[in-house]
Amino acid sequence: MSARDRILAKLNAAPVLPKAEPDVASWYETHRSQESAVDKASRFRSCIELAHAEVYSVTSASWLQKLWEVLSAKQIGKLLVAPGTPHGRRAIDELSPSGIECQAYDAPIEDWKEEMFHDIPASLTSARCAIAETGTLVLWPDADEPRLMSLVPPVHIVLLDASSIHNTFYEVMQREGWANGLPTNALLISGPSKTADIQVTLAYGAHGPKELVVLLIGDEA
């Protein structure tokens, strides 16, 4: 019998001891479970701002005005929107008269790839929810808002409802019902795209948007 066979024989002969699975649910049950919605929003904001994202507190009535202010400050005159979404339609209706050109994502990318990659300075999407613990946005791309909207334009602007911020990633999976079905891909975004691969020099926008702006929609003032 070879040494290999002897080792495998000993391993196979060793008793199999039952191991209790960790009670993950109970652990998370007590992990920051008492935080209020305000506390979660504050923690989310602190974390994502540390990653150099911009966050603005708005209401459902004022977010378009703040969006216009952000675009004007950045000298952006063209915005990619999803006309099949309520916020996309509002942007088209209310921003276009103010001089912002709203480009609708309403055709296959093959038909306008050149324009998408070279002539779209910013995009507007929504977030399904967010994670307070890590300052992370959760996006579920679909036919109305394909993933290219959040990956290609240099400036990505995201609408986030403050009431949809969860404590942890585990809480997101549980409360959003991820076990019942997932999209083709879920995007977890914790700041603008950045890398330090070359000479350990931090560079933004290497693999995606170089700027991330979050419009955090809270209670009406």
Q: Looking at residue 96, which CATH number applies to its domain?
A: 3.40.50.10420
Contact 206, 195 (CB under 8 A): yes
pLDDT band at 161 (very low <50, low <70, confident <90, very high): very high
Contact 95, 67 (CB under 8 A): yes
Spatial distance between the Cα atoms of 164 and 178, rounded to a whole number of angstroms: 15
Task: Look over the chain and give the mean of its residue pLDDT values, rounded to a whole number.
Answer: 91
H-helix or E-strand spanning residue 69: helix 63-73
pLDDT tens profile 68-122: 999 999 999 999 999 999 999 999 999 989 999 999 999 999 999 999 999 999 9
- Tell me, yes or no, whether 89 lies in a domain: yes
pLDDT value at 221 more than 60: no
pLDDT value at 220 more than 70: no
Residue type, 152: V
The residues near 8 (Cβ < 8 Å, ≥ 6 apart) are none
- Tell me, yes or no, whether 60 lies in a domain: yes
pLDDT value at 215 more than 90: yes
Could you tell me which residues are beta bridge partners of residue 57? 216
CB atoms within 10 A of CB 195: 13
Enter the pTM of the model. 0.86
Q: Which two tokens stand for residue 87?
A: 């916020």
Could you tell me which residues are beta bridge partners of residue 131? 136, 166
CB atoms within 10 A of CB 152: 19
Spatial distance between the Cα atoms of 54 and 34, rounded to a whole number of angstroms: 27
Would you call 155 exposed, middle or buried from its count of C-beta atoms within 10 A (0-12, 13-18, 19+)? buried
Domain span including residue 148:
35-217
Closest CA to 175 of 136, 126, 207, 131: 131
- Tell me, yes or no, whether 12 lies in a domain: no
Give the range among 55-59, 119-123, 129-133, 197-201 with minimum mean pLDDT.
Answer: 197-201
pLDDT value at 206 more than 80: no
- Tell me, yes or no, whether 9 lies in a domain: no
- Tell me, yes or no, whether 47 lies in a domain: yes
Model pLDDT, residue 166:
93
- Tell me, yes or no, whether 63 lies in a domain: yes
Q: Which two tokens stand for residue 118?
A: 């070279």
pLDDT tens profile 8-57: 988 888 888 888 888 888 888 777 667 888 999 999 999 999 999 999 99
pLDDT value at 188 more than 70: yes
- Tell me, yes or no, whether 157 lies in a domain: yes
Give the range among 4-13, 173-182, 196-205 with minimum mean pLDDT.
Answer: 196-205
- Tell me, yes or no, whether 26 lies in a domain: no
Closest CA to 130 of 79, 186, 77, 86: 186
Number of domains in the chain: 1
